[in-house]
């Protein structure tokens, strides 16, 4: 496609989404519910159509020798397909966040002010590989009254387009505008850059993916961005910890699902308990296949470990690798997290109340834990019912983002002739 | 200053602010209150020092032949100085937003989750001319536990530096870090650009000023921005309006203080009431010195008016100028506002309930009014106690921004050994 044609195409998609957003903002809970049910039913009915598109993507990915982990994320097998449809049904069953009166008050001059929850408008989502993200995001945005413009990875282009086409037909049959959900109509990289310039049509960009993707989006976008960036999560084992509990928590935080952003990447241990606690902990982790990269003191305590470099302290491994550091105090632990962490999720294990409270208040992360695994940072685990991701930003939404975080508010003011004096 | 030296200087300011923010976030309400009282007292005591600095700025501005309106905004006379100090005292008296438990719940697995209000961190504020903005912003940021890096207009550089120096001394004497408040140490334009790159130290940028300033900031900044952009505000007079009330509201919205962002810039009138209502309204406005720019139908009804051009419909005059358009219906009014408005503040005057509700829900502006002047969009008028400005963005804060809007939240999770399964 020529650059001019590409610009016009992307512009049309964005403006149609904006029109759709105006109608969606006025849609009733019942209308949105009907559309979501239709979306789930249509996905089930179009199973073969979607499977063929997905097979084409997977075949192309194999031929172009994509890493097998990426090919794996691309595959929409039977189980994943069912989970994808169930997830749309689950979103349908959630309460509608739109229209909630967040606060209401009256002024001395008689003005009555309501702060009311409303949709954001048009949400742009930029993501990689997994095609089930397409229908997840579509469902969450529609439920919260937003239109969505989706841009998945080029390698999942056929799958995403097939899913979006099915969803559009369903939405349209349910009486809402098909443009409530759209995919960029081309896998070209230039399409994203153009999309990120359309600040008169798109209200917010949510990038989900690796560091390079997110940095590029932040640098290019004229539209406000809510980053879903990396998680360099810590567990700090205090000298007053229940040591058996500390071992269970550290093991769970590292090994239960190491490829997630809320998995532990660095273990901090108070020097007083390190000699007793660390060697068996390291052995347990090694038996589970974890490679340990230790500070000097850790290596003096446990033989045969790789030395952690400066880069290890800020690395997000997303893998069975763990950096371990022995610290002299709670202060040193907090300093380390402040310096190297990514303000995502950090935990302390301790029985000492005052130290727990210091950690919880002084570690400036989206989620801080005492005596629990960092793996709980998740919209479902938090009870939000769903999540579009985990924000590592401080503005608008922090931590797990559910339906409420996909809304904003407006002030509705009722008067009877009030004038400003 | 060389570019290298400038970069190092700005970097040092930003990093010192970041350090200060960590201490401020832990400061008690009493400590912050004491600092705010000390700030007000020190300003009063340093009256002469500040007046001299201000006189130097004003003299330089006159010599460089700045427009007289700009010179006027620069002058810190006795009345403005007293208001500036009183405003710091008023902020001291407001409730502390930090530490509020916004929501608290328990999960089936026993995890207890608290969503707690915390400061944003370091706030960068970029503004023009008026030196009293310096102490206003410093007080609001300190009260909400944030450090602030201020960059006022180059023409107010001496005044701003004098005010900031006095505030820093007061904060330091009260036992909080002086770097809680800082001004960029140079009036050079390049300083702003460098500041906007420091996304590892500054958490949010709030630009207050003209369209050109805001556009530049949005395009340059790597840090999230909350825009305080223009207000193209409308009053729509429905055919079911109380016509006497409509006249009072339209006059107030245009004339009470035309240079503000919440003043009416376009008047929309239903064609059924226009013949009767519009001519005397136009006369009243003209007698108050307002220049009317009318649509064709308006000009057919009232002789001698300038024709409104396409550009008039999206103009923010901030002056005694008003565009007037006759519309056929509520739908046309809503369409016009959606197309040309700036989503700031818009009002309908009507006695018809269903039409009022349609306007309030379908006009997607930060503040929507029925039967009241748009001039009420203001932190004090809304009862927020103070405002740092009026956000025209949808993310994080919309409309008047008070202390709460200068905060974010974190999740504090209490466990007793919970693991993810």
Query: How near does any CA of chain A get to the CA of B152, in Å?
Result: 23
Quote the crossing angle between the two packed helices B132-143 and B157-173, to the nearest 10°: 30
Which whole number is the average pLDDT over B300-327? 97
Q: What is the mean pLDDT of chain A?
A: 96
Contact B413 A105 (CB under 8 A): no
Judge whether A118 is closer than 8 Å to chain B, CB to CB.
Answer: yes
Top residue of B114, B116, B230, B410 to mutate, by most chain A CBs within 10 Å, is B410
Q: Which chain A residues contact residue B18 at CB under 8 A?
A: none
pLDDT of residue B147: 98
* Nearest CA among A153, A296, A269 for reference residue A213: A153
A26 in contact with B, Cβ within 8 Å:
yes
Q: Is there a contact between B364 and A19 (Cβ–Cβ < 8 Å)?
A: no
Distance CA A230, CA A218 (A): 14
Per the listing, tokens 């007292």 go with B41
Q: Contacts of residue B394 in chain A, CB cutoff 8 Å?
A: 120-121, 203-204, 408
Q: Do B224 and A393 touch (CB under 8 A)?
A: yes
Name which of B363, B408, B420, B421 to mutate to probe chain A: the one with the most chain A Cβ atoms within 10 A of its Cβ: B420
Query: What residues of chain B lie within 8 A of the CB of A371, using their CB?
Result: 414-418
Q: What are phi and psi of B101, to 5 degrees?
A: -85, 105
Burial category of A329 from C-beta neighbours within 10 Å (exposed 0-12, middle 13-18, buried 19 and up): middle
Q: Which of A104, A384, A394, A398 to probe the B interface (max B CBs under 10 A)?
A: A394
Q: How far apart are CA B285 and CA B296, in angstroms?
A: 19
Below-50 pLDDT ranges, chain A: none
Measure in Å the smallest separation between the Cα of B225 and chain A Cα atoms: 8
Interstrand relation of A112-119 and A407-418 (parallel, antiparallel or unpaired): antiparallel
Residues of A in Cβ contact (< 8 Å) with B225:
224
CB-based contact, B23 to chain A, within 8 Å: no
Q: Is A385 left (phi over 0), alpha (psi -120 to 50) or beta?
A: left
Chain A residues closer than 8 Å to B376 by CB: 111, 413, 415, 418, 420
By CA distance, what is B370's nearest residue in A?
A414
Burial code (b: 16+ CB inside 10 Å, e: under 16) for A372-390 equals bbbbbbbbebbebbbbbbb
Q: Is the pLDDT of residue B34 over 90?
A: yes
The closest alpha carbon to B120, from B17, B25, B196, B14, belongs to B25
Residue B175's region, left for phi above 0, alpha for psi from -120 to 50, else beta, is left
pLDDT of residue A397: 96
Is the CA virtual torsion B37, B38, B43, B46 positive or negative? positive
Contact A369 B107 (CB under 8 A): no
Exposure string (b/e) for A236-259, b if CB count within 10 Å is 16 or more?
Answer: bbbbbbbbebbbbbbbbbbbbebe
Please state, in angstroms and as integers, the Cα–Cα distance from residue A394 to each residue in A261, A318, B108, following that order: 17, 23, 28
B69: pLDDT strictly greater than 90? no
Q: What sign results for the dihedral spanned by CA atoms B375, B381, B382, B387? A: positive
CB of A395 less than 8 A from some CB of B: yes
B110: left (phi over 0), alpha (psi -120 to 50) or beta: left
Alpha helices in A67-149 (DSSP H): 68-74, 78-92, 132-143
Q: Which residues contact B89 (CB under 8 A, 6 or more apart)?
A: B36, B37, B40
Residues of A in contact with B410 (CB under 8 A): 364-368, 398-399
Q: Tell me how many residue pairs between chain A and chain B have CB atoms under 8 A apart.
A: 186
Nearest to A203 among B113, B218, B394 (CB): B394
Instruction: List Cα–Cα distances, A340 to A315, A316, B417, in angstroms.
Output: 9, 11, 25
**Choosing among B123, B264, B412, B416, which should be mutated to test the A contact, i.e. which has the most A CBs within 10 A?**
B412
Helix H or strand E encompassing A307: strand A306-307
Q: Using the beta-carbon criterion (under 8 Å), do B371 and A416 form an inter-chain contact?
A: yes
Subunit contact A364:B25, Cβ cutoff 8 A: yes
Q: In terms of Cα–Cα distance, which of A274, A276, A318, A321 is closest to A297? A: A274
Query: Mapping DSSP to helix (H, G, I), strand (E, B) and coil, where does residue A183 land?
Result: strand
What three-state secondary structure class fits B259? coil
E strands, B38-195, in order: 101-106, 112-119, 122-126, 147-151, 181-183
Residues of A in contact with B413 (CB under 8 A): 367-370, 372, 376
Would you report the helix, strand and coil content of chain A in percent, each value rounded to 5?
Answer: 45, 20, 30
Residues pairing with B207 in the sheet: B126
**A398 to chain B, minimum CA–CA distance in Å?**
7
Nearest-Cα distance to chain B for A223, in Å, is 9
Structure tokens at A248: 């269970």
Touching check for B339 and chain A: CB below 8 Å? Answer: no
| pTM of the model as a whole | 0.94
Q: Alpha-carbon distance A295 to A306, whole Å?
A: 9
Mean pLDDT of chain B, nearest integer: 96
Q: Pick from A376, A395, A417: which is nearest to B413 by CB? A: A376
**Looking at the predicted structure, is the pLDDT value of residue B217 above 80?**
yes
The closest alpha carbon to B76, from B139, B181, B158, belongs to: B158
Closest CA to B402 of B421, B416, B384, B415: B384
What pLDDT score was predicted for residue A372? 98
Q: Which is it for strands A112-119 and A101-106: parallel, antiparallel or unpaired?
A: antiparallel
- Please state whether B413 falls in left (phi above 0), alpha (psi between -120 and 50) or beta: beta
pLDDT tens, position by position, A296-320:
999 999 999 999 999 999 999 999 9
How does DSSP classify residue B317? -
How much is the average pLDDT of B80-107? 96
CA distance B139 to A272: 44
- Give the residue from B391, B270, B402 showing the smallest Cα distance to B326: B270
pLDDT digits (tens, 9 = 90+) for B123-168: 999 998 789 999 999 999 999 999 999 999 999 999 999 999 999 9
Answer yes or no: do B118 and A414 touch at CB < 8 A: no
Least CB–CB distance from A111: residue in B22, B365, B372? B372
Nearest Cα to Cα of residue B210 among B68, B70, B74: B70
Token pair belonging to A152: 């998945």
Average pLDDT (B315-343) is 97
Task: Give the span between the Cα atoms of B268 and B297, in whole angstroms.
Answer: 12
Task: Nearest by CB to A413, from B372, B393, B410: name it.
Answer: B372
| Surface of B (161-220) touching A: CB under 8 A | 203-204, 218-219
If one counts every other C-beta atom within 10 angstroms of the C-beta of residue A311, the result is 10
Q: Which of residues 231-260 of B touch A (CB under 8 A)?
A: 242, 245, 248-249, 252, 256-257
8 A C-beta contact, residue A36 and residue A180: no
Q: In angstroms, what CA-CA distances link A237 with A24, A124, B66? A: 49, 40, 62
For each of the domains in chain B, give its residue range(s) and CATH number, in order of start: 3-229+397-414 (3.40.605.10), 233-376 (3.40.309.10)
Q: Which of A411, A389, A403 is nearest to A146 (CA)?
A: A403
Does B413 sit within 8 Å of A368, measured CB to CB? yes
Tell me how far apart the alpha carbons of residues A319 and A255 are, in angstroms, rounded to a whole number: 9
Rg (CA), chain B: 24
State yes or no: ipTM above 0.85. yes
Residue closest to A230 by CA, chosen among A259, A203, A251, A268: A259
Q: Return the number of other C-beta atoms located less than 10 Å from residue A161's C-beta.
A: 21
Q: Which of B321, B375, B340 is nearest to B232 (CA)?
A: B340
With CB atoms and an 8 Å threshold, state whether A398 touches B375: no
- Dig out the tokens for B19 from the structure: 């350090």
CB-CB: which of A376, A381, A420 is closest to B373? A420
Q: How many residues would you count in chain A?
A: 421
Where do runs of H (alpha helix) occur along B75-156?
78-92, 132-143
Q: How far is the C-alpha of B257 from the C-alpha of B253, rounded, in Å?
A: 8
Report H helices in B265-379. 274-287, 296-301, 330-340, 353-362
Tell me whether A376 touches chain B (CB under 8 Å). Answer: yes
CA pair distance B402, A91, nearest whole angstrom: 34
Q: Tokens 């990289």 belong to which residue?
A: A189
């Amino acid at each position: 496609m020529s650059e001019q044609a590409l610009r016009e195409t992307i512009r049309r998609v964005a403006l149609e989404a904006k029109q759709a957003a105006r109608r969606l903002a006025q849609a009733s809970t019942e209308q949105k519910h009907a559309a979501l049910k239709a979306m789930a039913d249509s996905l089930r009915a179009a199973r073969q159509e979607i499977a063929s598109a997905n097979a084409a993507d997977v075949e192309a990915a194999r031929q172009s020798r994509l890493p097998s982990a990426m090919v794996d994320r691309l595959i929409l097998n039977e189980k994943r397909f069912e989970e994808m449809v169930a997830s749309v049904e689950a979103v349908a069953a959630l309460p509608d966040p739109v229209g909630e009166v967040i606060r209401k008050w009256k002024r001395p001059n008689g003005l009555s002010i309501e702060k009311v929850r409303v949709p954001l408008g048009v949400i742009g989502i930029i993501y990689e590989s997994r095609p089930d993200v397409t229908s997840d995001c579509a469902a969450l945005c529609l439920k919260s009254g937003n239109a969505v413009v989706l841009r998945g990875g080029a390698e999942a282009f056929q799958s995403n387009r097939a899913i979006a086409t099915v969803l559009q037909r369903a939405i349209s049959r349910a009486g809402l505008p098909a443009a409530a959900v759209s995919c960029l109509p081309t896998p070209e990289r230039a399409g994203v850059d153009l999309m990120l310039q359309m600040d008169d049509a798109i209200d917010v960009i949510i990038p989900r993916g690796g560091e390079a993707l997110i940095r590029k989006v932040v640098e290019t976008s004229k539209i406000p961005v809510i980053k879903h960036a990396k998680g360099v999560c810590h567990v700090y084992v205090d000298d007053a910890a229940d040591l058996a509990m500390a071992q269970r928590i550290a093991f769970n935080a590292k090994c239960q699902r190491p490829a997630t952003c809320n998995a532990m990447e660095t273990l901090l241990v108070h020097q007083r308990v390190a000699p007793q606690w660390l060697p068996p902990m390291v052995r347990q982790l090694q038996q589970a296949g974890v490679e340990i990269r230790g500070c000097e003191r850790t290596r003096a305590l446990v033989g045969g470990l790789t030395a952690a470099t400066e880069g290890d302290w800020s690395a997000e491994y997303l893998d069975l690798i763990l950096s371990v550091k022995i610290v002299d105090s709670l202060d040193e632990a907090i300093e380390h997290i402040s310096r190297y962490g990514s303000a995502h999720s950090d935990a302390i294990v301790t029985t000492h109340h005052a130290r727990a409270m210091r950690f919880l208040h002084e570690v400036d992360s989206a989620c801080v834990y005492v005596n629990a695994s960092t793996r709980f940072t998740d919209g479902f685990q938090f009870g939000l019912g769903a999540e579009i991701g985990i924000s590592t930003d401080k503005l608008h939404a922090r931590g797990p983002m559910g339906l409420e975080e996909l809304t904003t508010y407006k002030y509705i003011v009722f008067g009877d002739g009030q004038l400003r004096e």
